[in-house]
Amino acid sequence: MDSDDQPTWDEAKADALIGRYVLLGLTFTDAEGNPQEQAQRHGIVERIDRDSGLQIRLRSPGQPWDGELYRLPPDLRPFSPAKPGIYHLHSTGEDVENPDFTATWEIRAPDPDDDTPERQQARRDEDRRFGFRTD
Protein backbone atom coordinates (compact mmCIF):
# COMPACT_ATOMS: atom_id res chain seq x y z
CA MET A 1 0.00 0.00 0.00
CA ASP A 2 1.01 3.58 -0.50
CA SER A 3 1.80 5.80 2.46
CA ASP A 4 -1.70 7.35 2.33
CA ASP A 5 -3.18 3.85 2.95
CA GLN A 6 -4.62 3.60 -0.55
CA PRO A 7 -4.14 0.39 -2.55
CA THR A 8 -1.27 0.38 -4.99
CA TRP A 9 -2.58 0.76 -8.54
CA ASP A 10 -1.55 -1.92 -11.04
CA GLU A 11 -2.31 -0.70 -14.56
CA ALA A 12 -1.57 -4.08 -16.14
CA LYS A 13 -4.04 -5.84 -13.81
CA ALA A 14 -6.63 -3.13 -14.45
CA ASP A 15 -6.22 -3.53 -18.21
CA ALA A 16 -6.54 -7.33 -17.86
CA LEU A 17 -9.94 -6.94 -16.15
CA ILE A 18 -11.58 -4.84 -18.85
CA GLY A 19 -14.08 -6.87 -20.85
CA ARG A 20 -13.79 -9.84 -18.50
CA TYR A 21 -16.65 -11.61 -16.76
CA VAL A 22 -16.58 -11.28 -12.97
CA LEU A 23 -18.49 -12.90 -10.14
CA LEU A 24 -18.92 -10.60 -7.14
CA GLY A 25 -19.54 -11.69 -3.56
CA LEU A 26 -20.88 -8.75 -1.55
CA THR A 27 -21.22 -8.65 2.24
CA PHE A 28 -23.08 -5.66 3.63
CA THR A 29 -22.28 -4.79 7.24
CA ASP A 30 -23.41 -2.26 9.80
CA ALA A 31 -21.02 0.47 10.95
CA GLU A 32 -19.38 -1.92 13.43
CA GLY A 33 -18.72 -4.56 10.76
CA ASN A 34 -21.50 -6.97 11.72
CA PRO A 35 -22.82 -8.76 8.60
CA GLN A 36 -26.35 -7.72 7.62
CA GLU A 37 -26.75 -9.28 4.18
CA GLN A 38 -24.82 -11.24 1.58
CA ALA A 39 -25.47 -11.03 -2.14
CA GLN A 40 -23.88 -12.18 -5.35
CA ARG A 41 -23.88 -10.40 -8.68
CA HIS A 42 -22.04 -10.97 -11.95
CA GLY A 43 -21.23 -9.11 -15.12
CA ILE A 44 -18.67 -7.63 -17.46
CA VAL A 45 -16.08 -5.06 -16.43
CA GLU A 46 -16.66 -2.08 -18.71
CA ARG A 47 -14.35 0.54 -17.28
CA ILE A 48 -11.61 0.89 -14.68
CA ASP A 49 -10.09 4.14 -13.58
CA ARG A 50 -7.65 4.72 -10.74
CA ASP A 51 -9.65 7.76 -9.59
CA SER A 52 -13.28 6.75 -10.12
CA GLY A 53 -13.05 2.96 -9.70
CA LEU A 54 -14.58 0.02 -11.52
CA GLN A 55 -17.79 -0.13 -13.52
CA ILE A 56 -19.38 -3.54 -14.03
CA ARG A 57 -22.38 -4.08 -16.33
CA LEU A 58 -24.47 -6.61 -14.44
CA ARG A 59 -25.96 -9.62 -16.23
CA SER A 60 -28.92 -11.41 -14.74
CA PRO A 61 -31.74 -12.05 -17.22
CA GLY A 62 -35.13 -11.61 -15.60
CA GLN A 63 -33.79 -9.63 -12.66
CA PRO A 64 -34.43 -5.88 -12.28
CA TRP A 65 -30.69 -5.16 -12.10
CA ASP A 66 -29.91 -6.88 -15.42
CA GLY A 67 -27.97 -4.36 -17.51
CA GLU A 68 -27.41 -1.94 -14.62
CA LEU A 69 -23.96 -0.44 -14.11
CA TYR A 70 -22.53 -1.30 -10.67
CA ARG A 71 -19.64 0.76 -9.36
CA LEU A 72 -16.89 -0.31 -6.99
CA PRO A 73 -13.91 1.57 -5.52
CA PRO A 74 -10.55 1.65 -7.35
CA ASP A 75 -9.14 -1.38 -5.54
CA LEU A 76 -7.98 -4.35 -7.62
CA ARG A 77 -6.86 -6.53 -4.68
CA PRO A 78 -10.19 -8.43 -4.34
CA PHE A 79 -10.00 -9.77 -7.91
CA SER A 80 -8.59 -13.27 -8.45
CA PRO A 81 -8.69 -15.54 -11.49
CA ALA A 82 -11.69 -17.86 -11.17
CA LYS A 83 -11.33 -21.61 -11.26
CA PRO A 84 -13.23 -23.15 -14.19
CA GLY A 85 -16.63 -24.52 -13.31
CA ILE A 86 -20.21 -23.69 -12.51
CA TYR A 87 -20.83 -21.34 -9.59
CA HIS A 88 -24.25 -21.58 -7.98
CA LEU A 89 -25.39 -18.23 -6.55
CA HIS A 90 -27.33 -18.76 -3.35
CA SER A 91 -28.68 -15.21 -3.31
CA THR A 92 -30.35 -15.47 -6.74
CA GLY A 93 -30.48 -19.19 -7.57
CA GLU A 94 -28.50 -18.59 -10.78
CA ASP A 95 -25.63 -20.68 -12.10
CA VAL A 96 -22.67 -18.81 -13.57
CA GLU A 97 -20.38 -20.86 -15.77
CA ASN A 98 -16.65 -20.18 -16.04
CA PRO A 99 -16.36 -16.53 -14.96
CA ASP A 100 -12.94 -15.03 -15.61
CA PHE A 101 -12.51 -13.53 -12.14
CA THR A 102 -14.07 -13.58 -8.69
CA ALA A 103 -14.02 -10.77 -6.15
CA THR A 104 -15.29 -10.50 -2.61
CA TRP A 105 -16.22 -7.13 -1.13
CA GLU A 106 -17.32 -5.91 2.29
CA ILE A 107 -19.53 -2.84 2.11
CA ARG A 108 -19.72 -1.15 5.49
CA ALA A 109 -22.48 1.26 6.47
CA PRO A 110 -21.26 4.66 7.63
CA ASP A 111 -21.02 5.55 11.29
CA PRO A 112 -24.46 6.82 12.39
CA ASP A 113 -22.87 10.09 13.55
CA ASP A 114 -21.56 10.70 10.01
CA ASP A 115 -24.73 9.63 8.19
CA THR A 116 -27.29 12.01 6.75
CA PRO A 117 -30.88 11.52 5.59
CA GLU A 118 -29.72 12.18 2.03
CA ARG A 119 -27.08 9.43 2.18
CA GLN A 120 -29.60 7.04 3.75
CA GLN A 121 -32.08 7.70 0.95
CA ALA A 122 -29.37 7.27 -1.69
CA ARG A 123 -28.48 3.87 -0.19
CA ARG A 124 -32.13 2.79 -0.11
CA ASP A 125 -32.53 3.83 -3.76
CA GLU A 126 -29.41 1.88 -4.75
CA ASP A 127 -30.52 -1.14 -2.72
CA ARG A 128 -33.81 -1.24 -4.64
CA ARG A 129 -32.07 -0.74 -7.98
CA PHE A 130 -29.67 -3.65 -7.43
CA GLY A 131 -32.06 -6.00 -5.63
CA PHE A 132 -30.48 -5.74 -2.18
CA ARG A 133 -32.47 -5.77 1.04
CA THR A 134 -34.27 -2.46 1.55
CA ASP A 135 -34.86 -2.36 5.32
pLDDT in tens, 75-87: 999 999 999 999 9
Tell me phi and psi for residue 13, to 5 degrees: -65, -40
Query: How far is residue 106's CA from residue 21's CA, in Å, rounded to a whole number?
Result: 20
**Could you report the per-residue pLDDT of 91-123, keeping only the tens digit for each?**
889 999 999 999 999 988 888 888 888 988 888
Cβ atoms of residues 20 and 45 within 8 Å: yes
Tell me phi and psi for residue 7, to 5 degrees: -65, 145
**What is the reported pLDDT for 129?**
84
Domain extents in the chain: 11-128
- Any alpha helices (H) in the chain, and if so which ranges? 11-17, 117-129
What residues form DSSP beta bridges with 57?
A: 44, 69
Query: How far is residue 36's CA from residue 132's CA, in Å, rounded to a whole number?
Result: 11
DSSP SS3 for 125: helix
**Could you report the per-residue pLDDT of 22-59, keeping only the tens digit for each?**
999 999 998 999 999 999 999 999 999 999 999 999 99
